[in-house]
Amino acid sequence: MPDRPPTPLERRDHEQEDPTRLCRTAIPILAPREYYERVGDVNNVVFSCGAIMEDGETVKIYYGAADTAICLGTAQLGELMQFCSIGEGNH
């Protein structure tokens, strides 16, 4: 498969006041870096498969990598929320 630009995981939300407008993070939450995220059936792509809250502060994010693997990343809720607010207002 030919190389393609990386497809990162970003937070995207519709604006409350105008649902036709989309907000997103200024920088990706997760971008393909590891070999298994960069090489596979679809190169250079990561995508969310779901997330669960564990112990009230740890978020487990399940994600697909290169359409070949299912992976797990973790983040602290406070840090994730702060990170996501960095891009608020970007359209």
Is residue 62, in this structure, part of any structural domain at all?
A: yes
pLDDT of residue 11: 60
Residue type, 30: L
Is residue 90, in this structure, part of any structural domain at all?
A: no
Sequence-ordered list of residues with C-beta below 8 angstroms from that of 21, at least 6 positions apart, any chain: 14, 15, 91
Domain count, the chain: 1
The domain of 69 spans 12-85
pLDDT of residue 80: 80
Tell me the whole-structure pTM to 2 decimals: 0.71
Strand duo 46-54 + 58-65: pairing: antiparallel
Give me the residues of the chain with pLDDT under 50, please. 87, 90-91
Residue in the block written with tokens 């298994």: 36
Is residue 43, in this structure, part of any structural domain at all?
A: yes
pLDDT of residue 90: 46
Question: Do residues 73 and 33 lie in contact, with contact meaning Cβ atoms separated by under 8 Å?
Answer: no
Is residue 1, in this structure, part of any structural domain at all?
A: no
Rounded to whole angstroms, the Cα distance separating 63 from 47 reads 5
